[in-house]
Chain A
C-alpha cells in the first residue's frame, strides 16, 4: 500500500509538470489551431536559464523569474516572427515549422550549456513521512504550484474579459473580429501564456527531474499527449490529462518495468487517437478552453 501511495504521489508530481505543459499546448491550439512543438523546449530553457542565473549569484526566486521571463519573450518572438507571417497556416504546417524551431533551440541549448543535465537548487521545505509514504517536499511544491497556476489560468479564461475574448476568438473568430477583437493579437497572447506555463513547468521540474538540452523532447511530447487526452482545446482537460498521464506512467514504471516509462505516453496516445480522437476527458458541453 505504501508502494502505491509512493507511486501515486510521484505520479501526481510529474503529472503536475505535464499538466502545465499540456495547458500551454491547449492555450495555443484552441485559439489558432497551431500545434507548438517548442512547448517542451520552453520548459528546458527556463530551467537552464534559472540554473545559470542562480549559479551567478541571483537568489532563487529571481533566477526562476528570469528563466520564466526569458521563455515568455522567446514565445512571443516565435509567434511574431515565425507563426504570424505565414499566410495559410495549417496545423500540419505548424508542426513542421515549430519542429524546426525546437530542433534549433535544442541544439543552441546544447552549445551553450553542454550535454549534461543539471538541477536547480531545491525549493525550501523538508521531506517527511506520512502513513508510511515518504513525501518529498519538492513533490508538494510542484503539485501545489500546478494547482494554483491551473486555478489562476481558469480564472483568467472564465472571469476576465480578456480571457473571454480569447475564448471568443477560439469559438467564433469571425464574430470576434466584428466585435473589434484582434484575433492576431489573441494568437500572440496565447503564445505568451504558453510560454509562461512552460517556463513555470521548467523551473518547477528542474530540482527533481533536471534540465538538459534534450529534456524538452520527452516533456513536450508527453505534454501533447496529455493535452490530447483532454481534447486539445480544453485547458481543464489538459490539466486533468497531465495528472492522469503522470499517474499512469508512474504506476507502469513501478509495477511493470521502469524502462517502459517513456513508451507509456505514446501507447496511451495511439490508443486514445484510435478510440476517441476527441479526447477522453473533455466535458460533454462543447466548451473550449
Chain B
C-alpha cells in the first residue's frame, strides 16, 4: 500500500534530520543549514514546475520579498518572529497573486520570462529604495530566540528548521497526492481534457503559483535569521538559477527529489568554490556557476526526470522482475445486458431540451467553416452529427464542447449560455466530451484517469490537503465510484495499469469511463468508433443505449455513417458548414441532398438508381438499405 511506504519514507527523513547535526562536523552542518533554507524554496519551485508545468525563473524574487519583509518587521517594527514570519510569507504570496493574475493566462514561456524580469525588478527596487536600505539592505537581524534559548549554532539552527522542513515536505506531499495534485497532473498531460472534466486550469495554476511563492518567502524568512542581513543580492538571478537546478536535478514535481536536489546542489556549490580556485589560481567571484550551468544542461539533456526519476525507474525494474505476468485483459461486460445505467434523480425528464445550438457561425481567417447551424439535443436521446470531410463537424463539435469560441450564434446548456466560455463551465453544467485524438493522461493509471473525472464531485482544496484526515473519506468515496464505472465500461481488469500502456481501443474506453465519472447529463463523443474492432463497437453501442435509457443525452460525431444511422434517434448532416438535413435516420438515409454531399455531386445531377454513373447507382442502392 503506497501510504504505508510513504510513512516509512517520512520516518526515515525525520530520523535523518534529527541525527545529522549529531554525526556531522560543524562545517558540514553549516552546508546542511543552507540546504534546508534553499531546499524549502526549491521545494516550492519543484511543486510549481512539476504540478503546474510552469517555470518560475524568479523564485529568488519571492525569496527576497519574504526576507526583506521579515527583516523589516523584526528590526524596524519589533514584531515577534513567528508573527512576522506569517506576515512575510503572506506578503510573498500576495505578490505572487498580483503577478500571477495577469501573467498565468499566458503561455508558459512568457510566464517564465516575466518571472525572470520580476527578479530583476525586485533587485532594482530594493537597490533604489532607501526605505529598504538601498545597497546595504537591512542588517542586524537577530538569531531566533525561543524560551530563553538562542539558536545560533549551526546544529541548533538546523534542529529549529528541521520540523519546518518536515512539515513543508508533508504538506507538499499531500498536495501532490490529493485532488489538486491529481487535477494539475491531468492538466499537464492534457490541458483541454482536464478542462472538459471540470478542472479550472487558471485557478489551479494560480493556487500552486501562490503556494510556491509562499515556500520561497518562507525560505527567505529562514535565510534572514541565519545570515542576519538581507540586501538586493537576495533576489539576484544566479540564486534563481540555483533553485531551478535544485528542482530540476531532484526531479520536477517530486517532493523528495527537491530535498535531494537541494542537498546535492549545496554540496556541489561548496565543492566547486573549494576546487576551482585551486585549479585556476586567479579565479574569483561566482565561479561555481560554471558547475551549475553544466549540471543544469546535462540533467535536462540526459536525465530529464531528475534523480527521483532514476530512482523510480530502478525500483520499477526490480518490481517488474518479481511481479507475476498480468492476466490477459478482456472485457468483463455481460454482452446481453441492456438495462438502463447511470440515471440520476435530478436529471431532466426525457424529451427536455438539454442543448440548444442557434445560428452557429465560425470563421477561420477568410474561410467560413460554419454558416448558421442550429439544432437541439434532448435528454434521453442519441443524436448523430455526420457529414463529409471538411463539412465543419469537428468545428461545430469543438464549439459546443467549449473548446472553441464561435464567431457568432449561441450554445445553451439548459438555458445557460456556454459559448465562448472555458470548457470547465460546461463540465460544471454536467456536459463533457471525449476526443478523436485521444487525450489520455499518460502519467497516471487507468484508475487515476477516471478519478480525474470525479474532480467536480470532490471539494478538497489546498487547505484540506494540509490536513490529511478529512480528505480521506472523500478519496475513499471517489475510489468506490471509480471502481463502479470501470466495471460498467468493462476495463476493471486494467484499473492499475498505466493508461499509456493500453491498446488504442481500450484507451478509448478509458476516456469514456473518465467522462462518465463526471455523471454528465450530456455526453459528447468525438468519433468514438474509430479504431475499434467490430466487437468493441458493438459493446460501445450497447453501453450508449443503456446510458440513453438512463436519461442521458448523447451527441455522436462519426464518419462511420452506418453505425450512426443504426444507433441514433435523430441525425444532423452538415455539408460545407451548413445543416443540410436533420431528422430520423431513415429520413436522412433517403435524403438526396445527403447522398449528393457524400458523393461529391454537382447540384443539378440526378440522384437516383437510373443515373448514368455506376457509382451513384450503387451508392443510392446502398443508402436505401437494399
Contacts and interface: CB of A to CB of B under 8 A. Distances in A.
Interface of A: 35, 82, 85-86, 91-93, 95-97, 99-108, 110-111, 114-115, 217-218, 221, 224-225, 228, 257, 259-260, 262-263, 265-267, 269-270, 273-274, 277
Contacts of A100: 292-298, 300
A105 B116 CA distance: 19
Contacts of B55: 92, 95-96
A92 B112 contact: yes
A95 B294 contact: no
Contacts of B516: none
A101 B53 CA distance: 21
Which 9 residue pairs across A and B have the least CB separation, nearest first?
A104-B293, A266-B117, A103-B293, A100-B296, A107-B290, A100-B297, A107-B289, A263-B124, A91-B109
Contact of A96 (B287, B288, B294, B300): B300
Contacts of B287: 107, 110-111
A89 B13 CA distance: 36
B297 A107 contact: no
B294 A259 contact: no
18 contacts: A82-B301, A95-B112, A96-B244, A97-B300, A100-B298, A100-B300, A103-B238, A103-B241, A103-B296, A104-B293, A106-B289, A106-B293, A107-B288, A111-B276, A225-B117, A273-B103, A273-B110, A277-B107
Which bracket fits the contact residues of B? 35 or more
B57 interface: yes
**Interface of A, helix, strand, loop or mixed by DSSP:** helix
Interface of B: 53, 55, 57, 102-103, 106-110, 112-114, 116-118, 120-121, 124-125, 127-128, 237-238, 241, 244, 248, 276, 280, 282-298, 300-301
B124 A260 contact: yes
Contacts, number: 131
Contact of B128 (A107, A115, A259, A265): A259
Interface centre among A95, A107, A111 (most CB of B within 10 A): A107
Nearest to B122: A263
A110 B113 contact: no
A97 B297 contact: yes
A263 B126 CA distance: 11
B293 A270 contact: no
Given A104-B290, A106-B289, A99 B241 contact: yes
B109 A267 contact: no
Nearest to A98: B297
B301 to A, nearest CB: 7
B120 A221 contact: yes
B289 A277 contact: no
B110 to A, nearest CB: 5
B373 to A, nearest CB: 27
Given A93-B300, A277-B106, A224 B290 contact: no
Nearest to A259: B128
B432 to A, nearest CB: 27
B289 A110 contact: yes
Contacts of A273: 102-103, 106, 110, 114
A266 B289 contact: no
Contacts of A110: 283, 285-287, 289-290
Contacts of B103: 270, 273-274
Given A35-B113, A263-B121, A267-B117, 4 more contacts: A95-B55, A95-B112, A100-B293, A277-B110
B241 A266 contact: no
Given A273-B110, A274-B102, A97 B292 contact: no
